[in-house]
Each structure stands twice: as structure tokens, then as C-alpha cells.
């Protein structure tokens, strides 16, 4: 059985490291990285195309940020409810206040 060859783009950065100090990433920061993976445009594209791609990327970043914030809120609600059901209302209240 042959796995075949793997084409690796030579012009794309394959590994990137981002860090924060004493905190996790914000929804805005994660959305920015996400959009960089979704939207790209060649440096040699006509200016109008580059501007359109930038506007599209900005819009996508706003949408991704919005839904990431909703997902975080929803997860906190799930954790809050699980803690309440486990008999830990004080801890649940701390989570709710985050």
C-alpha cells in the first residue's frame, strides 16, 4: 500500500506560534487567526481584488468573533448548570459572573 507523495506548498508558512501571557486568547484574537487561514489573496492580485478580499476578511472576522462570543456564553451556561446540578451553587455563581 502506497501513501503517495504529499505536495507541500513552498510559499506558505506551515507553522506559526502565538502566545499570551497570564491569559488565554480573546475571541477577537482567535477570529483573526481563523480568518488568516480562510481568506488569502495574492500580493500580485490587482488592487481592487486585494481591497475586496480585505473587506471580505474584515467582515468574516466580525462574524467569527460574534459567534465565538456566543459559544463562550453558551459554554458558561452549561458549566453553570452542571455545577448547580452537582450541588455547587456558590461555584456556579462565580462562573456566571465571568
- The per-residue pLDDT for 98 is 84
pLDDT tens column, 10-43: 666 667 889 999 999 999 999 999 999 999 999 8
Let me know how many helices (H) and strands (E) the chain has, helices first.
3, 0
- Say whether pLDDT at 8 is over 60: no
| Helix, strand, coil % over all residues of the chain, rounded to 5 | 60, 0, 40
* Domain ranges, ordered by start, for the chain: 27-97
Cβ(72)–Cβ(27) under 8 Å? yes
- The per-residue pLDDT for 22 is 93
Which residues are within 8 A (CB) of 40 and not within 5 positions of it... i.e. 6 or more apart? Answer: 53
Which residues are within 8 A (CB) of 91 and not within 5 positions of it... i.e. 6 or more apart? Answer: 83
pLDDT tens column, 52-69: 999 999 999 999 999 999
Amino acid at each position: 500500500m502506497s501513501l503517495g507523495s504529499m505536495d507541500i506548498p513552498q510559499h506558505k508558512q506551515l507553522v506559526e506560534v502565538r502566545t499570551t501571557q497570564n491569559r488565554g486568547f480573546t475571541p477577537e484574537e482567535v477570529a483573526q487567526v481563523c480568518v488568516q487561514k480562510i481568506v488569502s489573496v495574492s500580493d500580485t492580485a490587482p488592487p481592487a481584488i486585494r481591497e475586496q478580499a480585505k473587506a471580505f476578511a474584515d467582515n468574516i472576522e466580525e462574524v467569527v468573533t460574534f459567534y465565538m462570543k456566543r459559544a463562550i456564553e453558551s459554554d458558561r451556561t452549561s458549566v453553570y448548570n452542571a455545577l448547580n446540578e452537582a450541588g455547587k451553587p456558590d461555584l456556579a455563581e462565580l462562573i456566571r459572573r465571568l
